[in-house]
């Protein structure tokens, strides 16, 4: 029995924080996922969906399963009557025999500080872990635990987060902590997997190179208080229609990011990122791919009807 349990525990502890929270290369378009204080701070109702296929083509050398695949869809909007914003998201993160699923709701409260905005946010929801015991393999095939564990099992736990975001016209900085209650999943085994608290620092700065070109410098620092990793990148926007840039994930990958805005008001955005793995390629596959689609719907925060007039239309 111990040999089976050790394999189960090792699955959860290798690169532990990355196994618990999914990573995204287009994090600059997905700030709300990392920080509940970002809810509604863009001033519009925003719907964002991302699909990430990591280490495309990866096959395990032992047992079944495949590469990590993650989907997320989020919605957030400002609400004037609440003096803040609300939003929610759902996540499906498949990691071979383990699948993490989340459904989260956030509220943020805005405070005006001169020409800046300070937002404080809270998030509450559920975090489920599902394990497929049919994919796991034991070194001891006579392990009696194999007879009692088969098929799929799911455990559901409450999950909470807190964050703060300071935003001005040219830059923003934020910090958040999730998994505050540190829920534990054991599936009836002697070993358990606990979601560790994670802290995220996000930041961005905009520089107008000229009338048509704007450059955004971005960073994301993530830590489970044991291991820390940072992403650092830069993106150039041409008339807010085309964008392209590079990002680097510490000790893992170099990332190419491109995107295009659709519709007359540029409200529909499509982005793509290509990760090229620069470390431990022999244990992975050299590329990861990510697709982002975002739609923004302007909000009339005053509640008054908008009257169009040809005088002010260009």
Among 71-75, 145-149, 248-252, 255-259, the range scoring the smallest mean pLDDT is: 145-149
- pLDDT for the residue numbered 193: 85
Residue 248 inside a domain? The answer is: yes
Q: Beta partners for 75?
A: 47, 88
- pLDDT for the residue numbered 103: 98
What is the per-residue pLDDT across 102-119, written as a single tens digit (0 to 9) for each?
Answer: 999 999 999 999 999 999
Question: From the DSSP assignment, how many helices (H) and strands (E) are in the chain?
Answer: 4, 16
Residue, of 193 and 307, whose pLDDT is higher: 193
Among 71-85, 258-272, 296-310, the range scoring the smallest mean pLDDT is: 296-310
Residue 16 inside a domain? The answer is: yes
Mean per-residue pLDDT of the chain = 86
Quickly count: other Cβ atoms within 10 Å of residue 33's Cβ.
26
- Our count of domains for the chain comes to 1
What is the per-residue pLDDT across 82-105, written as a single tens digit (0 to 9) for each?
Answer: 999 999 999 999 988 889 999 999
- Has residue 307 got a pLDDT over 80? no
CATH number for 165: 2.40.160.40
Q: What secondary structure letter does DSSP report for 11?
A: H
Is 312 strand, coil or helix? helix
Question: How many CA atoms within 13 Å lie on the side-chain side of 276?
Answer: 6
- pLDDT for the residue numbered 5: 41
Residue 42 inside a domain? The answer is: yes
Tokens of 169: 């016209």
- Has residue 132 got a pLDDT over 90? no
Mean pLDDT of 227-239: 96
Report in angstroms the alpha-carbon separations of 227 from 152, 168, 198, 230: 30, 30, 10, 10
pLDDT band at 61 (very low <50, low <70, confident <90, very high): low
Phi and psi at residue 27, in whole multiples of 5°? -65, -25
Residue 305 inside a domain? The answer is: no
pLDDT band at 148 (very low <50, low <70, confident <90, very high): low
Residue 71 inside a domain? The answer is: yes
- Has residue 276 got a pLDDT over 80? yes
Residue, of 65 and 259, whose pLDDT is higher: 259
Mean pLDDT of 219-223: 97
The Cα–Cα gap between 270 and 122 comes to: 29
Percent of the chain at pLDDT exceeding 70: 81
- Has residue 197 got a pLDDT over 90? yes
Residue 154 inside a domain? The answer is: yes
Q: What is the reported pTM?
A: 0.86
- Has residue 7 got a pLDDT over 60? no
Residue 286 inside a domain? The answer is: yes
- pLDDT for the residue numbered 180: 97
For residue 239, the enclosing domain spans 2-298
- pLDDT for the residue numbered 222: 96
Contact 259, 270 (CB under 8 A): yes
- pLDDT for the residue numbered 209: 95
Residue 309 inside a domain? The answer is: no
- pLDDT for the residue numbered 186: 87
- Has residue 301 got a pLDDT over 70? no
pLDDT band at 65 (very low <50, low <70, confident <90, very high): low
- pLDDT for the residue numbered 78: 96
Q: Beta partners for 96?
A: none
Q: Beta partners for 46?
A: 76, 296
């Amino acid at each position: 029995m111990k040999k089976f349990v050790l394999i189960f525990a090792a699955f959860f502890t290798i690169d532990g924080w990355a196994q618990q929270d999914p990573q995204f290369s287009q994090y600059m378009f997905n700030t709300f996922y990392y920080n509940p204080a970002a809810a509604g701070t863009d001033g519009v109702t925003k719907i964002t969906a991302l699909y990430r296929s990591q280490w495309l083509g990866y096959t395990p050398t032992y047992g079944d399963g495949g590469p990590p695949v993650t989907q997320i869809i989020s919605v957030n909007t400002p609400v004037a009557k609440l003096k803040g914003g609300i939003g929610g998201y759902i996540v499906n993160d498949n990691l071979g025999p383990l699948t993490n699923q989340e459904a989260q709701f956030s509220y943020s409260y805005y405070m005006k500080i001169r020409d800046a905005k300070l937002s404080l946010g809270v998030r509450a929801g559920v975090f489920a872990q599902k394990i497929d015991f049919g994919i796991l393999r034991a070194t001891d095939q006579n392990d009696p635990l194999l007879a009692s564990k088969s098929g799929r099992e799911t455990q559901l736990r409450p999950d909470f987060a807190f964050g703060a975001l300071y935003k001005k016209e040219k830059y923003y900085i934020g910090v958040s902590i999730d998994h505050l209650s540190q829920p534990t999943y054991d599936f009836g085994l002697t070993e358990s997997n606990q979601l560790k608290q994670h802290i995220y620092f996000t930041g961005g700065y905009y520089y107008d190179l000229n009338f048509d070109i704007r450059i955004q410098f971005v960073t994301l620092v993530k830590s489970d208080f044991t291991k820390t990793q940072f992403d650092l990148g830069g993106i150039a926007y041409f008339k807010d229609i085309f964008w392209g840039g590079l990002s680097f994930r510490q000790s893992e990958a170099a990332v190419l990011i491109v995107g295009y805005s659709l519709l007359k008001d540029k409200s529909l955005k499509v982005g793509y990122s290509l990760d090229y793995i620069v470390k431990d390629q022999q244990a992975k596959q050299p590329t990861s791919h990510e697709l982002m689609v975002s739609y923004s719907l302007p909000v009339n925060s005053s509640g008054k009807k908008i009257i169009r007039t040809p005088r002010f239309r260009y």
